[in-house]
Amino acid sequence: MGGTNTKATADELTATEKRVLLALGEERGEWNQKTLSEKTDINEDAVMQTAFMLAQKGLCEINEWEKNYYRLTAEGVVYYAQRLPERRGLDLLIDREEATFEELKNAFPDEAEANISTNWLLRKGWARIEEKEGEKFLTPTGNTSWIPPEVPKDRYSRVGVDEEILRIARDAGDIEENILLSRLKERIPEIKDRSIKSFLGDLVGKRDLLERYTIVERRISITGVGKEILSQGISVEEEIAQLTPELIRTGSWKGRKFKRYDVNLSSKETFAAKIHPYQRILDRMRRIFTEMGFTEIKGELVQSAFWNFDALFVPQDHPARDMQDTFYLATRKRIEASEELIKNVKQMHEHGGSLNSTGWGGEWRKELGEELLLRTHTTAITLGYLASHSEPPVKVFCIDRVYRRETIDATHIPEFDQLEGIVMDRGVTFSNLLGCLLTFYKKMGFPSIRFRPGYFPYTEPSVEVEVYMPARGWIELGGAGVFREEVTNPMGVKYPVLAWGLGIGRLAMISLGLTDIRDLYHSDMDWLRNARGFR
Ligand code: FA5
């Protein structure tokens, strides 16, 4: 860094940064959090924060490493004071030359501790089990130490390395691993580090007498650039960090130095409340259709089979009407339509009414039309509107929930939303329909969609709209077509009706980068916070 640059940096330092830099520049050379805090009289957290700021500016260097520490657990403290249960057990055995399990048990305050004593007596090879006349005894083996093979037994006859470790830890309070190792080696120079670690492992893991914890230690030292700034001389002036009404009123801010803002610092991420990404997509769709001159309509969730199917020229034996596909209510209701419309629909189904159509043939049964169901598509809603608005022009849309008995998978759920729309006017054509859908999807951010020939009982011609998704290939987004005369004629509609019903869930799933439609309904906070979508 050149001279002019470092000068500029010196000017940008806060008073606290200057104080810390001055301390770092003193002879001692290396500091840790604690010593630097004591030297500067700034608390440890703040001093580290400042050191990090200085490090970011290249003025100091922070080295970090982890250190293991040990201290006795509560049980460790008790066992240390009373000696380990197996040591107490051994003394008893030596005293009496042998003892039954029962006798050993009676020497301890509880059974658990007696068991610990027995287990470790056997494990350490201090006692063995002998049987005399059907009764079991514990007898001492003569071993009284617990040391690894590299340590000569005769020199450490009554030493347990674990006991030594507990003693050192008790004396030290909290002890760093390397210090513990070296203290133990002062006592038993022959012992290897590997053995000590295995004893420590037992005391921490198996016996819970010692606790191991890690502390991050830091060494902070000034860099060459830092020294250069100091060599130019810096003075610590108190700075105003926050402008208060008081400072302005009294005018005491005059002539004082203000803390500079670092506009390059990234700010903390905030997660303000916002509208659910899925709702944002619904709102966007509403806006697009409204901009295109459409009016939104609403309708009932419970529909009669007449409006959901019959008026749409869906034959009464169509598989979509099965109980397996549709949720029916247990009740029926008089059809909400004029007698004339019901009669016209009946005639259309039976023989094509006055049109050059054969209809579906057979008898159309009114009672099947009276069955109530949860609407399976929103086409029931636009159709109902059309029936009462038979004069052109009509341009309406509807966004609402529909229900189907579906096997749930990545693209199918039993409750989903559809975006329905119709245009009825003199001279509108199939091309207008495709253009309208293309415009909508383009505005939604899907420039490449494709139309495939489709089939619906109520439209001719019919298409299916598909969009490409790299993870899954082409996905069907919706159906559309021009209503057949078998649908429009009974209602007295004389002009072409363009109609479509688009699945919203699938579109939302693709827009939001999901591959499973079910994820739209999971309240995953991380996803909700970060999901980007329409505003
Ligand atoms: C219909 O519902 C027709 N009423 C659409 C229509 C309206 C055609 C007007 C012609 C004129 P379909 O059953 O294909 O069509 O459903 C339309 C869209 O809803 C599908 O393309 C799909 O995107 C979505 N969809 C269908 N079933 C499910 C489901 N179980 N879960 C999620 N989305 C679904």
Region of poorest pLDDT, from 2-11, 277-286, 287-296: 2-11
Cα 158 off chain centre by: 56
For residue 406, the ligand 1 atom closest to its alpha carbon is 30
Overall average pLDDT of the 464-489 stretch: 90
Residue pair 419/442 in contact (Cβ under 8 Å)? The answer is no
Where residue 298 falls among pLDDT bands split at 50, 70, 90?
Answer: very high
Query: Do 159 and 253 fall within a single domain?
Result: no
For residue 517, the ligand 1 atom closest to its alpha carbon is 32
413 within ligand 1 shell (Cβ under 6 A): yes
Q: Which residue out of 408, 416, 450 has the highest number of ligand 1 atoms within 8 Å of its CB and is therefore the one to mutate?
A: 416
Q: Is the peptide bond before 189 cis (omega within 30 degrees of 0)?
A: no
418 CA from centroid of ligand 1 (Å): 7
Query: Rounded CA gap, 13 and 1, in Å?
Result: 16
Residue pair 375/381 in contact (Cβ under 8 Å)? The answer is yes
Is 362 a domain residue? no
Q: Cα angle vertex 513, ends 276, 475, to 5°?
A: 110
318 within ligand 1 shell (Cβ under 6 A): no
Is 183 a domain residue? yes
Is 328 a domain residue? no
Query: Do 390 and 520 fall within a single domain?
Result: yes
401 CA from centroid of ligand 1 (Å): 12
Closest alpha carbon to 320 in 308, 335, 333 = 308
Is 33 a domain residue? yes
Relative to beta strand 210-222, strand 30-31 is antiparallel
Query: Do 209 and 224 fall within a single domain?
Result: no
CATH no. for residue 8? 1.10.10.10
Query: Do 453 and 468 fall within a single domain?
Result: yes
CATH no. for residue 432? 3.30.930.10
392 CA from centroid of ligand 1 (Å): 26
pLDDT at 3: 41
Residue pair 127/93 in contact (Cβ under 8 Å)? The answer is yes
406 within ligand 1 shell (Cβ under 6 A): yes
pLDDT at 1: 38
For residue 422, the ligand 1 atom closest to its alpha carbon is 9
Provide the token pair at 341: 């419309």
- How many structural domains comprise the chain? 3
DSSP H/E element including 52? helix 44-56
Overall average pLDDT of the 195-224 stretch: 93
Take atom 17 of ligand 1 and give the residue whose Cα is closest.
478
Is 372 a domain residue? no
93 pLDDT above the threshold of 50: yes
Render pLDDT for 147-205 as a digit per residue (tens, 0 to 9): 999 999 888 988 999 999 999 999 999 999 999 999 999 999 999 999 999 999 999 99
Query: Do 101 and 189 fall within a single domain?
Result: yes
Share of the chain above pLDDT 90, in %: 71
SS3 61: strand
Query: Do 291 and 429 fall within a single domain?
Result: yes
CB atoms within 10 A of CB 159: 17
Is 76 a domain residue? yes
Render pLDDT for 224-276 as a digit per residue (tens, 0 to 9): 999 898 888 887 777 788 889 999 999 989 988 887 777 888 888 888 888 99
320 within ligand 1 shell (Cβ under 6 A): no
405 within ligand 1 shell (Cβ under 6 A): no
Query: Do 173 and 110 fall within a single domain?
Result: yes
pLDDT at 29: 66
378 CA from centroid of ligand 1 (Å): 9
Q: Which residue out of 307, 324, 375, 377 has the highest number of ligand 1 atoms within 8 Å of its CB and is therefore the one to mutate?
A: 377
pLDDT at 533: 63
Overall average pLDDT of the 370-384 stretch: 97
Q: Which residue out of 382, 407, 456, 516 has the highest number of ligand 1 atoms within 8 Å of its CB and is therefore the one to mutate?
A: 456
Query: Do 112 and 259 fall within a single domain?
Result: no
Instruction: State the greatest distance between any 2 C-alpha atoms of the chain, in Å, as a whole number.
Output: 118
Take atom 9 of ligand 1 and give the residue whose Cα is closest.
500
Query: Do 89 and 150 fall within a single domain?
Result: yes
| Average pLDDT in the chain | 91
Domain that holds residue 27: 1-64+217-265
450 CA from centroid of ligand 1 (Å): 16
Query: Do 47 and 180 fall within a single domain?
Result: no
Relative to beta strand 257-258, strand 239-240 is parallel
421 within ligand 1 shell (Cβ under 6 A): no
Q: Which residue out of 433, 476, 500 has the highest number of ligand 1 atoms within 8 Å of its CB and is therefore the one to mutate?
A: 476
Is 272 a domain residue? no
Name the CA dihedral angle for 471, 418, 498, 313, rounded to a multiple of 10 degrees.
110
Q: Is the peptide bond before 149 cis (omega within 30 degrees of 0)?
A: no
For residue 475, the ligand 1 atom closest to its alpha carbon is 23
Is 338 a domain residue? no
Query: Rounded CA gap, 36 and 60, in Å?
Result: 13
Query: Do 193 and 157 fall within a single domain?
Result: yes
484 within ligand 1 shell (Cβ under 6 A): no
Provide the token pair at 505: 């869930």
pLDDT at 534: 59
Query: Do 29 and 77 fall within a single domain?
Result: no
Render pLDDT for 2-44 as a digit per residue (tens, 0 to 9): 344 444 467 778 888 988 999 998 877 678 888 999 998 999 9
